[in-house]
Structure 1
Amino acid sequence: MVREALEADLRWRDPDGFADMHRTVHQQLVERVRTAPDEQMLPATSALLYLYRREASANFCKGREGGGVEDDLYEGGHVEDGPYGGADRGRVLELAEAAEGEASAAVCRFWLDRQPEAFRVYRSTRTGEIVAFFAWLRLREPLGTDIDPVVDAAWAHARSAAPLRPGEHMALARFSVHLPARGPLRGLAPANLMNWRALGEILQADRLAWTFFVMRDDGYWDDYMRHFAMPPAARRPCLGQHTYALFSHDWRAQPVSPWLAARSNATLSDAQGTRTPPRSREHDDELAVLSRPEFDTAIRDALRTLRRPDALADNPLNRSRLVTESGTTLAGLLASAIDDLRGGRSGDKHHRALTTTYLAGTPTQEAAAERLGVPFSTYRRHLASGIDRLTDLLWRSELKGTRITASG
């Protein structure tokens, strides 16, 4: 009661100050989750999610009449999260069959054999019995698509929307299994621990392209997941007697930072009289997720139009992570990257060919070769290899999120 009164008073007296405080606390809690060891992940994630407790559209307790659930959500005590061990196999398969049928249990057995480290079990603190389990599969290639129609649907969606690029992976909250609970809570305690772990995994992930949350397709979670920018994929796979919905998010199109900013801003907007923080363009628009051939073409187009701002503005690289996280324009980024080529073998030749051709405004390639004082065939060779090196440099930056900085 004291906590709620203090917060309500600050919102009323100083809404802008409250918004600033909220963002500061939010960022600190996000960093705590990102750096938390495994045993601290859930407490850190629950502290972050506590900031969203009043956001109606994100309410974990939808359908609950009356109060008294908040302690269940944020104080815990009913179940505890722990790693899966070989001795848990029989109980996990028993739960899978009881909750979802024999076909689902067979698929669960497949993944237990191949990714046992992906599974978590939830034990009753009163009896020690496993009452639920969860699996966070990490996939870099289409393993198990002939066994698991849910995973097959996830790969099909990713391929059609924006395929994985080298070094990236997808993650599936493949099993979120607990026996049906009585009343409207639907297994509230284990479900929330699963949600917290999933968010923690997302915040700590490296090179995560897609996530898919797998739910029974009964419409219960549709609005909730859409609120979190995770709409259902078009394909609804069937397994046994059940149909499943896959709620998807491409983290390259909307990375974690703007996704969290949108959640934080929505929380602040719910408070009457509190300002809505300004949003940058990259928070409003989805980023472009380009394949390597598309990326190479975009780089070449950008170089050709580097001195034509109107044409350069239409280049899809303007909406790529490469540019939006660089703190500069596409033109500025290309100039810095060209400058970086001076290091390494033949770097000076590549730098001079690209600078003379694209930055100095030489009217023709023949004129560029003449200005450089080299035969035209030599110039063309230096230019082609320079473009290849430049594209490789920028592609690595796009994939890894590293910044291009001018050298020298």
Structure 2
Amino acid sequence: MAILRLDAPLPEDSAEDPVIAAVWDLVETAAPLRPGEHLGIRRFAVQPGGHQRPSPLMELTSRRTVSDEMRTHGRAVTFTVFENADRWGRYLAAAGMPEVAAVDIDGRQQHIFGRDWRRQTVEQWVQHRARAAITPVATWPASASSSGPGDQLPRAAFEEGVLEALHTWHTPREFATSVLLYSHLVPPASPAPVADLRGAIITALDALQIDPPGVKAHEALTTTYITASRTHKAAARRLGVPYGTYRRHLALAKQRLIEQPLRHAATTSTPPPSHSLPEE
């Protein structure tokens, strides 16, 4: 993602770039810059495997841009540009960046979301977000490309999402940006996707206990992440097993926790026989 810093309108930039023209018009009309101030424009979010889709990479990019805001002096206004307003609009609005304009570039609609930091400082914004996120609010609608609960993420992305969910289990607000929200674990158009996701993980975790190795794997994983032992060695001590044995149980738990929902997805994605479908 490119972060542009601008402190004066350049006629040639406005003439060549409709986004810059729209941004300067907004600033000059509603939030004029004062001496020493500048604005930032975040745009051109690029990632492999899914254009501007929520993912761990996009989450990392978002956090780095927030970090940039916190270190930058004189930043008065920030604008973020995305093509898909349905996918990002609610998320950015919840973060205090409503859509302020939309422009057409070569037939592609560019949606501009804006925030004036002079109305609320970055520090105040971070404190507000931390308090507001105690009860997580799902801010991303279902992907427009999703066709049903049998859809799957690429396996690597799914595995990474599951492991990230375990590591952030006790910070529920992190689930609002989980790539798993776009997996079969969350029903399309769910009114509470974060709650559904956490529930699906707990269900998959409970399903590990189908045999003695699964019971031990379940104990290792819940002790490590759900009841949050401080370290892996502390978890092994709580379970009363050697550290090497604990690590084998934990590795099996992670493998089964990933495989069990994947097997379920493969089952649910198989269409029923045609004779079982109701007539229109």
User: Does TM, normalized by the shorter one, top 0.5?
Assistant: no
TM-score by length of 1: 0.31
Q: Tell which structure's C-alpha radius of gyration is larger.
A: 1
TM-score by length of 2: 0.45
